[in-house]
Structure 1
Amino acid sequence: MGYAHYTVTRHDGIEIEAGYAVEAVCEQDGCTEQIDRGLDQLCGSWPGTPEDGCGGYFCSRHLYYGDWESEEPQSLNCKPCIDKRD
């Protein structure tokens, strides 16, 4: 799979275009920041898998590392996903 452009089926069954060549807007309510749908904008570690994130795409202001104390590698997550972990 190339990372410039591909199709992802989200956990709700909706297919979207994703990849760093796909222009989008941050999915945070009220945010209008232009982003791409690359892995660095993804809530979670892998597209289409909700195990560690919602699979939404967010600007850098709306993605966070959740657990600074953990020894394990952490994915970036949106605030609602981090709140679910706590």
Structure 2
Amino acid sequence: MGYAYYTVTRADGTEIEAGYDVTATCEQVGCTEEIARGLDNLCGSEPGAPEDGCGGYFCSRHLGYRDWESEEPQPENCKSCFEKRD
């Protein structure tokens, strides 16, 4: 599977285009930053409906929350998903 372009079915059934070659806007309300829908901008560990995030795509200002003290690998999360973990 290539990661430049693929489709993702979200938990609500909506199908979106994703991949590092797909441009979009950060999904944080009010943010207009242009991003790529690549894995590096994904909240959670896998596209679609990950158990460890919302599956949204965010710019670097709105993604990057994780438990830095954990010895286990942690996916990056948006602020909302990170706060739900507590």
TM-score range, shorter chain: over 0.9
Identical amino acids, percent of aligned pairs: 78
Query: Which structure has greater helix proportion?
Result: 1
SS in 2 for 1:35: strand
Give the 5 Å matches for 1:1-86: 1-86=1-86
2:65, 2:79 within 8 Å by CA — same for their partners in 1? no
* In structure 1, C-alpha distance between the alignment counterparts of 2:19 and 2:70, rounded to whole Å: 28
Stretches of structure 1 lacking an aligned partner (at least 5 in a row): none
Aligned length: 86
Structure 1 position 12, deviation (Å)? 1.0
Task: Please identify runs of 4+ aligned residues in structure 1 that moved more than 3 A.
Answer: none
Unpaired stretches in structure 2, ≥5 consecutive residues: none
Normalised TM-score (structure 2): 0.96
Distance 2:64 2:24 in 1: 19
Counterparts of 1:29 and 1:44, CA distance in 2: 18
For the residues of structure 2 that align with 1:24 and 1:65, how far apart are their CA atoms?
21
